[in-house]
C-alpha cells in the first residue's frame, strides 16, 4: 500500500459521498418507476415530480463528485506533489456536501413554491437537471473554481504541464464556464431552452466526455502501464472527435424549440457523426484488453473501464443515433425513447467510469503489493447492473417505440393521444418490466456497496507470470 497524499484522502471522501448519492438516485428512480404502474403510490405526499427531480439531480451531483474525486486522486500523481490548496479543497468538500443536504431537504419537504423569484433562489429553479436553486448554483460555481484553482495551482507549483493536464485545464474551464449559461431567468422559453442546452448538452456530450477521457487515460496509465505518449496522442484524437462532432451536434436539441431551420441540418449531420469517437474508444479498449489478456492487479477497475467503452458506444451511439435524424426525431422527441437512451448512455459513459476509478483507488488503499483485488461480489454486482440497465433500456425502448407510433405518428400528439398510448398494453407491460429490472439494478447496487466496503478482504496472491504491465 502506498502512502497517500492528502488530496487522495479527499478523493476517497468524494468517492464515498458519490456512492451514497448513487444509492439515493436509485431509490428515487424506483419510487418513480412504481408511480408509472400505480399512480396513487405516494400521490400527494411525494409526487412523481419530486422523485424524478431527485432521481436526476442526485445523478448529476454524484457523477460530478466522482469526477472531482478522480481529479484529486490523480493530480498529485501527475504533478508529483501535494495539491496546493488542499485545506481549501477540504473546506469546499464540506460546503458542497452541506449544500446538497440542504437542497435535498428542501426538495423533499418544501417541494415547490409560489411563482416568484424567491422560489427560484431558494427552493427550485424548475429547469430539468439544473433545478438546484440559485444560491446552490453559486455554491457549485465556487466549489468548481476551487477545484480549477487546485488543478492549475498545483501544475504551476510543480512547474509541470503535461498534455493530459493541459486538456484537463481547458476542459474544466469550459465545463464550469458553461454552468453560468444556466443561471439566469428569461420569460422567453425558446431562449431559456437554447441556453439550457448549452449546459446540459455541452456537459454531457462534450466536456464530460473529454473529462472522462482524461480520467480514463490516467487510469489506464497507472493500471496497465500504457505509455504516456500513447495516452496523450489518443486523448487528442478523442478531443478532436468529441468536440468536432459534439459541439455542433448540440443542434439536435435545436430542432423544435423555436430555433431556425438550419439547426435541423447541422444538428442532424453532426450528431450522426457522434458515434465515431465511441467506436474509436471501443477499438482501443479491445486492443488494451488483448495486450493485457484482462490480467491486472485490479480486476474490477479494469472490467468497469471496459464496460465504460462498450456502454458508451451502445448507450450514446446506438440508442442515440436511432432517433437523432430530424425526420425521425419530429415524432420521437419527448417520448420514452429519450429515457431509454438516457439511462443506457449515462450508465455506459459515466457510471462505469466512476466505478472504475473508485475501484482503482480502493485497490491502492486496501490491497498490499503482490496481491490482486478480486473476488465474487464485484462480479455479481457487475453482471447484475449490466443486466439491470439493459433490461430497463430495452423496456423503455419498447415504450418509446409504442409512444412514438401511437401517440405521435397515429393519434396526433394530443392530450388524449398521450393517454391512449400510455394505456396501450405494450406500454403498460414495458413499465412493469422496467420496474423489475430497476429492482435487479438496485439489488446489484447493494452488492456493489458491500463489495466496496469490504474490498481488500478478498485478494489473491499475485502470480508473476499472470500480470503484464
CA 49, 55, 61, 62: dihedral to nearest 10 degrees?
170
Question: Do the beta carbons of residue 207 and residue 238 sit within 8 Å?
Answer: no
Distance between alpha carbon 367 and the CA centroid of its chain, in Å?
27
Name the minimum Å distance from CB 392 to another protein: 14
Closest approach, Cβ 330 to another protein, in A, equals 5
Residue 121 in the binding site for another protein (CB under 8 A): no
Check binding of 105 to another protein (CB under 8 A): no
Q: Is 53 in the site for another protein (CB under 8 A)?
A: yes
Which of the residues 58 through 77 are near another protein (CB under 8 A)? none
Q: Is 13 in the site for another protein (CB under 8 A)?
A: no
User: What DSSP string describes 239-270?
Assistant: HHHHHHHHHHHGGGGSSSSS--THHHHHHHHH
Which range of residues in 7-15, 58-66, 242-250, 364-372 is near another protein by CB under 8 A?
Answer: 242-250
User: What gap in Å lies between CA 439 and CA 389, rounded to an integer?
Assistant: 10
Which residues from 200-229 bind another protein, rule CB under 8 A? 227, 229
Distance CA 374, CA 455 (A): 8
In the complex, the smallest distance separating the C-beta of residue 395 from another protein, rounded to whole angstroms, is 13
Interface of this chain with another protein, residues 325 to 364, rule: CB under 8 A: 325, 327-328, 330-336, 338-339
Burial of 287 (0-12, 13-18, 19+ CB in 10 A): exposed
> Which CB, 122 or 450, lies closer to another protein?
122
The residue count for binding another protein (CB under 8 A) is: 124
Three-class DSSP category at 222: helix
Q: Which of 113, 153, 177, 456 binds another protein (CB under 8 A)?
A: 113
- For residues 278-297, which are near another protein according to CB under 8 A? 279-280, 282-284, 286-287, 290-291
Least distance between another protein and beta carbon 447 (Å):
27
Q: Does 35 bind another protein (CB under 8 A)?
A: yes
> Would you call 237 exposed, middle or buried from its count of C-beta atoms within 10 A (0-12, 13-18, 19+)?
middle
Q: Which of residues 365-424 bind another protein (CB under 8 A)?
A: 401, 403-406, 408-416, 418-419, 422-423
- Residue of the chain from 23, 153, 177, 244 that contacts another protein (CB under 8 A): 244
Q: Of 33, 43, 29, whose CA–CA distance to 431 is shortest?
A: 33
Amino acid at each position: 500500500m502506498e502512502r497517500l497524499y492528502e488530496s487522495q484522502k479527499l478523493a476517497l471522501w468524494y468517492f464515498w459521498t458519490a456512492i451514497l448519492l448513487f444509492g439515493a438516485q436509485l431509490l428515487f428512480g424506483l419510487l418513480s418507476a412504481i408511480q408509472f404502474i400505480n399512480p396513487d403510490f405516494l400521490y400527494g405526499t411525494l409526487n412523481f415530480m419530486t422523485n424524478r427531480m431527485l432521481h436526476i439531480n442526485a445523478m448529476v451531483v454524484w457523477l460530478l463528485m466522482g469526477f472531482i474525486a478522480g481529479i484529486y486522486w490523480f493530480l498529485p500523481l501527475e504533478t508529483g506533489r501535494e495539491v496546493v490548496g488542499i485545506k481549501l479543497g477540504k473546506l469546499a468538500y464540506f460546503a458542497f456536501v452541506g449544500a446538497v443536504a440542504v437542497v435535498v431537504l428542501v426538495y423533499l419537504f418544501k417541494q415547490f413554491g409560489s411563482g416568484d423569484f424567491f422560489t427560484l433562489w431558494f427552493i427550485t429553479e424548475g429547469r430539468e437537471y439544473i433545478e438546484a436553486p440559485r444560491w446552490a448554483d453559486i455554491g457549485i460555481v465556487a466549489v468548481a473554481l476551487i477545484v480549477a484553482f487546485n488543478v492549475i495551482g498545483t501544475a504551476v507549483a510543480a512547474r509541470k504541464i503535461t498534455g493530459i493536464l493541459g486538456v484537463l485545464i481547458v476542459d474544466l474551464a469550459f465545463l464550469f464556464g458553461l454552468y453560468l449559461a444556466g443561471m439566469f431567468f428569461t420569460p422567453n422559453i425558446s431562449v431559456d431552452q437554447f441556453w439550457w442546452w448549452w449546459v446540459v448538452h455541452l456537459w454531457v456530450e462534450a466536456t464530460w466526455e473529454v473529462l472522462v477521457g482524461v480520467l480514463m487515460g490516467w487510469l489506464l496509465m497507472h493500471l496497465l502501464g500504457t505509455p504516456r505518449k500513447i495516452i496523450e496522442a489518443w486523448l487528442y484524437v478523442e478531443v478532436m472527435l468529441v468536440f468536432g462532432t459534439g459541439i455542433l451536434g448540440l443542434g439536435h436539441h435545436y430542432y423544435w424549440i423555436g430555433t431556425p431551420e438550419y439547426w435541423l441540418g447541422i444538428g442532424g449531420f453532426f450528431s450522426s457523426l457522434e458515434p465515431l469517437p465511441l467506436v474509436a474508444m471501443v477499438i482501443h479498449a479491445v486492443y488494451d484488453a488483448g495486450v493485457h489478456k484482462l490480467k491486472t492487479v485490479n480486476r474490477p477497475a479494469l472490467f468497469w473501464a471496459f464496460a465504460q467503452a462498450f456502454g458508451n458506444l451502445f448507450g450514446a451511439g446506438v440508442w442515440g443515433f436511432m432517433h437523432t435524424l430530424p425526420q425521425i426525431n419530429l415524432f420521437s422527441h419527448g417520448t420514452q425513447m429519450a429515457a431509454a437512451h438516457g439511462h443506457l448512455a449515462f450508465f455506459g459513459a459515466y457510471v462505469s467510469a466512476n466505478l472504475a476509478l473508485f475501484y482503482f483507488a480502493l485497490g491502492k488503499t486496501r490491497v498490499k503489493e503482490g496481491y490482486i483485488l478480486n473476488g465474487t461480489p464485484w462480479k455479481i454486482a457487475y453482471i447484475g447492473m449490466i443486466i439491470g440497465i439493459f433490461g430497463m433500456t430495452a423496456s423503455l425502448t419498447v415504450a418509446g417505440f409504442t409512444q412514438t407510433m401511437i401517440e405521435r405518428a397515429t393519434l396526433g400528439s394530443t392530450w388524449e393521444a398521450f393517454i391512449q398510448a400510455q394505456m396501450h398494453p405494450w406500454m403498460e407491460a414495458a413499465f412493469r418490466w422496467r420496474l423489475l429490472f430497476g429492482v435487479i439494478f438496485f439489488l446489484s447496487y447493494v452488492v456493489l456497496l458491500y463489495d466496496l466496503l469490504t474490498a481488500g478482504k478478498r485478494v489473491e496472491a499475485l502470480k508473476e507470470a499472470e500480470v503484464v504491465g
